[in-house]
Chain A
Amino acid sequence: MTRMKRIAIVGVVLVAVATQVTPGRAADEAGTVAAVAGTLQVQRGGRWQGVGIGAPIFLGDHLRTGAGDQAKVVLADDSVLQLAPDTEVALDKQVFDPTAQRFESLLKLARGKVRSWVSDYYREPGARFEVETPTAIAGVRGTEFIAFYNEGAALTEIVGMVDRVEVAGKLAVIGSVVQVGPQYYTEVRRGRFPSAPQRLDDARFHRYLEGLDLIGTGGHDGLSEMHPALAGHLLSPQDVPGGAAGGAVAEGLKVTAPPEFLADRLSPDVRANTQPLLEFKSVPPGQSPKATGGIKVGF
């Protein structure tokens, strides 16, 4: 085997390994935590643990928020999930293969409320993004909607935000599927088909948005909250009581009238000295003070 052949074989093997690893990793890492207000917990390997912004979310992970907590996750397929307080959801399935044009996602909502922004990949034929609850399945092809599951009442509510959502009950028989448009909703009770979609008035519509108002990272994002003034830093020499000497320098904007030279400020006697001493120090040319009785000056 020539040296060139060996190099070529090694190269082919490396390329093969690389192409195998990349899809595998993409398949496992299903998303990333983008925002957390309060605490977001992930169950992985049977253990719940808190995760922060930037933490990876893997296929099969269960996510949950407590009372008052909210979180946002951006998925590998560019879909975004926002979890309201007291919510638990599992990433049960994700196939994201742009080369083969295969896009499938399944989220299982055990309780609480999730708002989903479903990416444009799911507009492709055959693509499917589904949110499943114990009583219903909501499927979309690139849209935005809210899925709410009330565990105690075994009730699913689906609210359309943009475009349409297909909602079906979880029954052993094929039944009616309803289409829910923007600001419409349907509810699905255990063992039932979805109710006919109804339009929500603004007040009810906004109630469904409650707990989904997370803006930013959920932390201290604003200029005010990270401002150096609040951290005890001195913003400017102007902020020193008394300012600078003379009030002129540190309070650069507060320069006032030009100061006299220090000697003139200290002594009016110096300030008032206009050189008249000459008249008493010297005798004018051709004159004698004693002879004339005084200095003779001309004007």
Chain B
Amino acid sequence: MRDAGRAICTAGVLAAVVLAVAVAPARANVRSQALYARGLIPFNGGKWDDAYRLFDRAVQADRADAVALYYRGLAQARRGLSAAAIQDMSQALQLNPTLPHAALDLGVAYFDAGQYPEAKTWLERAHAQGGDRPTAAFFLGLTALRLGDNAAALTYFDEAKAAPELKPVADYYSGLALARQGQTDAARSALEQTARDLPQSEIGQVAQRYTTTELRRPSMPLAGPLAKPWSLYGSLGFAYDSNVVAGPSESDVSGRPGISGKDDGSTEIGFGGGYTLLDSDLGSVRASYDFYQSVHFSLTEFDLQGHRVQLLAASAPTGMVRYGIAGTYDFYALDYQSFYQEGLGTPWVSIAEGSDAATQAYYTLRGRDFFRAPFNPGRDSINNAAGLRQFVALGDPRWALGIGYQFDAEDTVSNGPMGNDFQYKGNQFDVDVAIPVLAETRIEVGYLLRFEDYQFVNSRPNRDGSFVRRHDVGNRVAAAAVHDLTEHLALTFDFIGIINNSNIPNFEYDRNIVSAGVRVVF
């Protein structure tokens, strides 16, 4: 009898426990519903902190309440806590994979956090679910732009344009993608549409400014990365050089005394092009070739011909860190005879600080080989350089400031008198600013200060006739202006000023070059 009573008692306790467990979620759910509903009131009023507190209590009341979790995530996102927002929305979607709008918002949260691959995954899911298809397409387009996939971006923006409320902004970003692809006419059309539809918005004003200025200026030599896979250019100009200083091709210079210090004019011809060999999610590879020829009016032995071949490989610009390597081969002929050749290799890495600044570190190994005496082998050298460079946007994204420092060591191959004379360690600082001025004109200005400390006592005397190590301080100023006449034709005007001070008079010189020309780009 006692056992039967105990059994009944145990069963009663178990039943009570089962009942309690069964009822507990229901109680929590009602409590959660009330707190969630109360949270909607401050949420609707933009009081994100108050809304967060109520949604948080709702989640505490029922941790399986997907809607409360989702709204706590939305409140977190509005409070700027994107990681917490992503966590809440992810959890909400685990609880309820079809929770309306949640996949789209999680994708947008990832996009806002700069996590584009994750954004793409969730936006694609929202796109497939269909409920928010045009909006999902729009954000997929933005994500594709960030990932450098302009073709995919265009497809998504075209789909987003089906929604009238999305069309003006989708037009703008289509224009951006088209401009990056080099389709300037189509880009102009899309951007002009945005400028008409949203004249007071930021993108409307940018579109207005860009369609009246930038799109007519693709020939800018300083312009940004080329969007289409190929490019071609040609240039013709005239230059005045106050001091033609490059050495002539002949080793026997006795018949050409007093060259330095003479001024002369020249015609300058250039052409070249580039082709993007690879452009994927992983990175890009681009090859280019440049030709240059100067033809002097009188000092024809200083006619310089240059051939440059470059190969640039870089990782895709999808994260905070980007890296790459640049390889360059230069060949120069002086007076139409071989002068020297050199090869340069530059691995580099850049770290973005937000979207307005970046720091770059690089190392350059350069080998230079002269073909003829007296420079071969006396001036043949290996140069090791390492530098840091800071890029900063100056409010208007078209304004750019670059500040750099570089250390380099020139190790001449020969240890004879000429070799010893030119072995040095150098430090240089430079600053460079690119500024859009008038509607169709852009100017870039740069200044470089360079110190060279030579490693051996020089074979030339200093001012008091003694022989000492050479120390130079060089100043270089350069300015370039480009004025677009048409989409493919531009006028160029350049100035270069060089003042080289040295403790040994032989190495002191000034040089000023002024040039003007036309440039054709396709």
Contacts and interface: CB of A to CB of B under 8 A. Distances in A.
Nearest to B204: A232
A195 interface: no
Given A246-B224, A278-B507, A252 B356 contact: yes
Interface in B300-353: 304, 306, 308, 312, 314, 317-320, 322, 324-326, 330, 332, 339-340, 346, 348, 350, 352-353
B354 A244 contact: no
Contacts of B479: 262
A101 B478 CA distance: 86
Interface string B27-57: 1011101100110110111000000000000
Given A245-B442, A249-B356, A251-B317, A233 B203 contact: yes
B353 to A, nearest CB: 7
Interface residues of A, number: 92
B398 A267 contact: no
B348 A258 contact: yes
Interface string A181-218: 00000000000000000000000000000000001110
Interface string A43-66: 000000000011000000000000
Interface string B249-278: 001111011111100000000000000000
A25 interface: no
A266 B400 contact: no
B283 to A, nearest CB: 11
B418 A261 contact: no
A294 B322 CA distance: 52
Given A223-B77, A258-B360, A142 B446 contact: no
Nearest to B245: A277
B324 A243 contact: no
B496 A253 contact: no
Interface in B366-425: 368, 373-375, 377-379, 387, 389, 391-394, 397-402, 404, 414, 416-419, 422
Given A250-B397, A274-B379, A280 B260 contact: yes
Interface in A109-133: 117-120
Contact of A234 (B179, B203, B379): B203
Given A232-B204, A241-B187, A254-B225, A119 B169 contact: no
A239 interface: yes
Contacts of A53: 40-41, 44-45
Given A117-B30, A257-B326, A272-B304, A232 B169 contact: yes
Contacts of B477: 263
A35 B169 contact: no
Contacts of B394: 249
Interface in B198-230: 198, 201-204, 206, 210, 214-215, 221-225
Contacts of A118: 30
B496 to A, nearest CB: 5
B358 A219 contact: no
B156 interface: no
Contact of A120 (B31, B258, B476): B31
A236 B146 CA distance: 11
Contacts of B187: 241
Interface stretch (B1-9, B10-18, B103-111, B483-491): B103-111
A120 to B, nearest CB: 6
B34 A224 contact: no
A139 B442 CA distance: 78
A299 B378 CA distance: 6
Contacts of A35: 37, 40
A252 B357 contact: yes
Contacts of A249: 356-358, 391-394, 397, 399-402
Nearest to B416: A299
B202 A232 contact: yes
Interface string A215-232: 111010111110101111
Contacts of B399: 244-245, 249
A247 to B, nearest CB: 3
Contact of B397 (A162, A243, A259, A269): A243
* Chain B binding surface SS class: mixed
Nearest to B354: A252
* Chain A binding surface SS class: loop
Given A223-B105, A232-B202, A243-B224, A261 B448 contact: yes
Given A35-B40, A72-B40, A267-B494, A245 B418 contact: no
B74 A262 contact: no
Contact of B34 (A119, A269, A274): A119
B27 A280 contact: no
A242 to B, nearest CB: 5
A224 B139 contact: yes
Interface in A282-299: 282, 284-285, 289-290, 292-295, 297-299
Contacts of A241: 175-176, 179-180, 187, 191, 206, 210, 214-215
A80 interface: yes
Contacts of B44: 53-54, 217, 219
Contacts of B176: 239-241
Contacts of A269: 241, 246, 294, 304, 513
B223 A261 contact: no
Contact of B459 (A270, A275, A284): A284
A40 interface: no
B499 to A, nearest CB: 12
Contacts of A34: 37-38, 40-41
Interface string B168-210: 1100110110011000000100010000001001111010001
A252 B358 contact: yes
B480 A294 contact: no
A261 B166 contact: no
B368 to A, nearest CB: 7
A211 B273 CA distance: 64
A162 B31 contact: no
A107 B100 CA distance: 30
Given A258-B346, A261-B478, A269-B241, A244 B202 contact: no
Contacts of B180: 241
Contacts of B279: none
B95 to A, nearest CB: 14
A263 B476 contact: yes
Contacts of B326: 257-258
Interface of A: 32, 34-35, 53-54, 72, 74, 78-80, 117-120, 142-144, 162-163, 215-217, 219, 221-225, 227, 229-259, 261-263, 265-282, 284-285, 289-290, 292-295, 297-299
24 contacts: A217-B43, A221-B43, A221-B74, A223-B74, A234-B203, A241-B176, A243-B224, A244-B393, A244-B397, A248-B402, A250-B398, A251-B355, A252-B352, A252-B391, A255-B350, A255-B360, A262-B480, A263-B496, A269-B294, A270-B496, A277-B247, A279-B253, A279-B374, A285-B459
Across chains A and B, which 9 residue pairs bring their CB atoms closest together, nearest first? A232-B201, A245-B434, A276-B247, A247-B224, A237-B397, A250-B397, A245-B400, A262-B446, A299-B416
